[in-house]
Amino acid sequence: MNHSEDVALPTVSDIDTARDRIGPHVHWTPLLSSRTLGELCGASAWLKCENLQRTGSFKIRGALNACLRAAEAGALCGAGVLTYSSGNHGQALALAARIVGVPATVVAPEDIPEVKRAAIHGYGAELVLCGLTSVERHARALEIAAATGALIVPPFDAPDIIAGQGTTGLEIVEELPEVDAILVPTGGGGLLAGIAIAASERNPSTRVFGVEPCDANALFLSMDARALVRLGHVPKTIADGLRPSAPGELTFEAARRHVDEVLLVDDDAIRRAQRLLLERAKLLVEPSGAAGVAALCEHREKFAGLRVVAVLTGGNTTIPWPE
């Protein structure tokens, strides 16, 4: 693959502009220290709580930035906006569309968790169920857009999305300038790309790590091959937000330039991280959102003695309460 340096990645200036644009509508989420996690892993550990963000995940940052920028450019019509999403981006786009004042349609997988399905409806979007893969959802979204004229707002592989997600990284490095490493659960790679771009400019010594489930390791394979790799199977993992069959072209390029390494974790490690976060930090985090903490625990030798931030990307899950 020929890695051109003119790939249209957002700059840190774009991320600054995104923060100004979305600031009135989103939370600066807490960055909490965790003595328990730090002692367990031999590191100084912090948790960036995007599970406490509006819509329950970081996704509102990118979705709202894209919608507001489209509105500024006069690019929205009566059909509104449309996306293809495993759930969290769909919720985020539904709320972003409400803020901007246009309708939203979300193409989601047939096995979307009920909590995410209910939230998409609750924010007022139309929900269309289609297949189990991002490829199937994307194809259906293109059909709907062609028929209605709705503007497609992708879940991760677009400059405005990456810039919006990158505001998470600005908050981390401004609140904890001495951070040594940031662990980012990674699906399509929009959050990872945004954080890596922000950190590389504002805190060049900070190392940024992507985290993927073992069976949904498209970015890991792509980084190893130095070319974009698409999985030939539907990933099987409890982390439903981390199952794209391939990273995006832009997000892979950002990872190639700015990400130090991609770490893998299995579902058992993710479950242990979820339980640890709930029992000790009192934080409800969905499986995808707990992958960074799982990586810190499973790969602790890499982070011994360092100041580490694990991004808790979302909290849209349910608890199996006893009867």
**Beta strand pairing call for 81-84 and 151-152:** parallel
Domain covering 12-57+158-312 assigned CATH 3.40.50.1100 in the classification? yes
pLDDT confidence tier of residue 113, bands split at 50, 70 and 90? confident
Least Cα distance to 230 among 242, 239, 218 occurs for 218
d(CA 310, CA 314): 12
pLDDT at residue 4 above 50? Answer: no
What residue has token string 């199937």?
136
Task: Give domain 59-152's CATH architecture.
Answer: 3-Layer(aba) Sandwich (3.40)
Calculate mean pLDDT across residues 53-74: 96
d(CA 198, CA 206): 10
The tens digit of pLDDT for each residue in 37-46 reads 999 999 999 9
d(CA 42, CA 149): 53
- What lies within 8 Å, CB to CB, of 232 at 6+ separation is none
pLDDT at residue 283 above 80? Answer: yes
CA-to-CA dists, residue 14 to 66, 176, 183, 250, 315, angstroms? 12, 21, 22, 15, 27
CA torsion 176-27-15-137 (nearest 10°) is 120
Q: What's the pLDDT score for residue 7?
A: 60
Q: What's the pLDDT score for residue 6?
A: 53
**Which percentage of the chain shows pLDDT scores above 90?**
84
> Structure pTM?
0.93
Calculate mean pLDDT across residues 184-210: 97
- Please tell me the least confidently modeled range out of 22-26, 111-115, 316-320: 316-320
* 12-57+158-312 and 59-152 agree in CATH topology: yes
Q: Can you give the residue ranges of every domain in the chain?
A: 12-57+158-312, 59-152
Q: Please answer whether residues 221 and 193 qualify as being in contact, where contact means their C-beta atoms are separated by less than 8 angstroms.
A: no
The tens digit of pLDDT for each residue in 218-272 reads 999 999 999 999 999 989 999 999 998 999 999 999 999 999 999 999 999 999 9
What residue has token string 């505001």?
167
